[in-house]
Amino acid sequence: MFGLTKRDSTLLIIVILLTVLAPFILNPFPEGSAMAQFNAGYPDLMQRLVIFGIFAIGFNILFGLTGYLSFGHAAFLGVGSYAAIWMMKLLTMNVVPAIIISVVVAGLFSLLVGWISLRRSGIYFSILTLAFAQMSYSLAYSVLTPITGGETGLQPKVDDPRILDGALAAGQTPRANFFGLEMGTSYELELGNWIFTFNAGYYIAAIVMILAFYLSIRIFRSPFGMMLRAVKSNQQRVNYTGLNAKPYTLAAFVISGMYAGLAGGLLVAMDTQVGAERMFWTASGEVVLMTILGGAGTLIGPVLGAGFIKYMENIVSKINKSVLEQWFAFMPDGIEDFLIAIVYPFIGKGWHLTLGILFMLVVIFLPGGLVEGGQRIGRLFKRKKPSDDAADGKTTPAE
């Protein structure tokens, strides 16, 4: 299908199903039940899950294939966001031009940063990209305040020019739309005690993510992808065979920067606001975590990792003491207090702690990330079959 092997097609179809059915998958618990706290099927989080999925897919093209660890990818996300919001302020609230310009601007900026940073490799490359990202952050936060809004960031205002849009009706605020379809438009389906939200913005972002995912499969399987892998496994050898690796790595860097810009543009399209913190180094670190947690160099890993981290950030951080009290209310007083005392440090503001512990566990026990976890479970079920069929158990050669 679409020039993919059977295995890749299956993977693509799985991703398509997951994203299309996300409103159902993420809302497994009925409203009003104690577990409803863990429902993630509301528009904002679903949008974030796919957008950061795109960001991580792009990062994985650079890190997973070439092994260059960029520690400044959030800068491209931020630059894309600023470009998109200016497009919305000046031109039109339609998200299409905003998203296109965010990709273009992020691409140009990553060309500049990549051209300089790729002169070095390894830790020096990481530090250079980190320096660029922090520089962009500081510029946006203070020096460039007239362009970036500084600390308060940028939002569309009622009196922005928006030369392509007609005048707003009185009392209306500018809203991001896709040829008239507002991003916030939701359609809610009620089945018994469950409510499933289908949000226009989410599906637009989801379609973009599926396209981005498809493109990344094609890159992974192309000769270009093979060259990038060659750079990762032994760059010296590539050089000795007379190949110049730099154009390849630079291309990967720019593609990956454009993915980040795309994610930035989509973030603005879904939630029309940009702040400089989007470029802070912790944001760059987050995408590294996402990729490693999910499985660097695998196709679907970064998407899973992004989903995992965003879920933790948005769901676990919102559990507070009174929610815990509700959960454990059925227990005797002493035990209830004891359980609350034990669980409390890991929820609410302690979500970083929970995430850190899970990250450590994954890195120690599943070095290949969540994807490796999935593979191990898969193997567990597969292994049984041959042992049932083959009596001697020696049908597979030892590797």
Partner 1 sequence: MSNSKLTRRGLIKTGAVAGAAGLTLPTYLRADGHAGFTNAPTGDTVTLGFNVPQSGPYADEGADELRAYELAVEHLNGGGDGGMMNTFSSKALQGNGILGKKVEYVTGDTQTKSDAARASARSMIEKDGAVMITGGSSSGVAVAVQALCQEAGIIFMAGLTHSNDTTGKDKKANGFRHFFNSYMSGAALAPVLAANYGTDRKAYHLTADYNWGYTTEEAVRSSTEAMGWETVNAVKTPLTQTDFSSYIAPVLQSGADVLVLNHYGGNMVNSLTNAVQFGLRDKLVNDKNFEIVVPLYSRLMAKGAGANVKGIFGSTNWHWSLQDEGSKAFVQSFGTKYGFPPSQAAHTCYVQTLLYADAVERAGSFNPCAVVEALEDFEFDGMGNGKTLYRGADHQCFKDVLVVKGKENPQSEFDLLEIVEVTPVAQVTYDPDHPQFSGGNLGTCNPGA
Rg value, the chain, Cα: 23
Query: Rounded distance, CA 5 to CA 221, Å?
Result: 9
Q: What gap in Å lies between CA 300 and CA 295, rounded to an integer?
A: 8
Q: Any idea of the CA torsion for 390, 392, 393, 395, to the nearest 10 degrees? A: -70
Which of 121, 138 has the CB closer to partner 1?
A: 138
- Give the length of the chain: 399
Residue nearer to partner 1 on the CB measure, 277 or 372: 277
Q: How far is the CB of 102 from partner 1 (least distance, A)?
A: 16
Of 46 and 230, nearer to partner 1 (C-beta) is 46
Q: Which residues pair with 190 in a beta bridge?
A: 195
CB nearer partner 1, residue 71 or residue 141: 141
Residue located via tokens 């160099």: 297
Whichever of 272 and 298 has its CB closer to partner 1, that residue is 272
In the complex, minimum distance from the CB of residue 304 to partner 1, in angstroms, rounded to a whole number: 20
Closer CB to partner 1, residue 199 or residue 249?
199
For the bound state, the minimum distance from the C-beta of residue 349 to partner 1, rounded and expressed in Å, comes to 4
Whole-number minimum distance, CB 105 to partner 1, in Å?
19
Residues sharing a CB contact under 8 Å with residue 357, sequence separation 6 or more, in sequence order: none
- In the complex, least distance from residue 22 CB atom to partner 1, rounded to whole angstroms: 14
Minimum gap (Å) between residue 44 Cβ and partner 1: 4
Binding residues vs partner 1 (CB under 8 A): 31-32, 39, 42-45, 48, 138, 141-143, 145, 149-153, 155, 157-159, 170-171, 173, 175, 182-190, 193, 195, 197, 271-273, 275, 277-278, 280, 313-314, 317-318, 320, 322, 348-349, 351-352
Strands (E), 154-246: 177-178, 181-182, 186-191, 194-199
Tell which residue, 123, 119, 110, 115, has the closest CA to residue 260.
110
Mapped onto helix, strand or coil, the DSSP state of residue 197 is strand
